[in-house]
Amino acid sequence: MSILTENNVIMNAAAKDKFEAITIAGRILVEAGHVTEEYVSKMLEREEVVSTYMGGGLAIPHGTKDGKQYIRSTGLSIVRFPEGVDFGGDEPAFVVIGIAAAGNDHMEILTNVAMIFTEDDAIEKVMNAATPAELIAIFEGGL
């Protein structure tokens, strides 16, 4: 099973708040079989403790440490929010990447995703991708 497929991408979503945005990203992981329903609750729980907003228009929600038991396989979801979602940062999140990492994959995946977004035009590339395949291609080099 691939960690990122076209089925794990939503190109244009809208959410009233960060909790709805996280739920959307988490549902993709559930539907792809990477996690159970309980993992989404653990993603929301983490957000209540510490924001997963990384800056630069990017949020990377993931479950709490005790949420690992609900992960079946490593997977990512990518959701674009053209109107942005307030995550409590200096600017809205336009890209929300849900992460479920089995075993010890967590830090490596977080680091790789963050490194992709260190490029000055990364968020622009992601927002301008015309298809899910184009969007995935941006990530394939770094994952």
**Catalytic residue numbers, as ranges:** 62
Dihedral angle of Cα 20, 7, 77, 100, to the nearest 10 degrees: 110
Distances (CA, A) of 11 to 8, 25, 84: 10, 12, 13
Alpha carbons 109 and 111: distance in angstroms, whole number: 5
Report which DSSP code applies to 59. E
Number of Cβ within 10 Å of residue 95's Cβ equals 23
93 phi/psi in degrees, rounded to 5: -85, 130
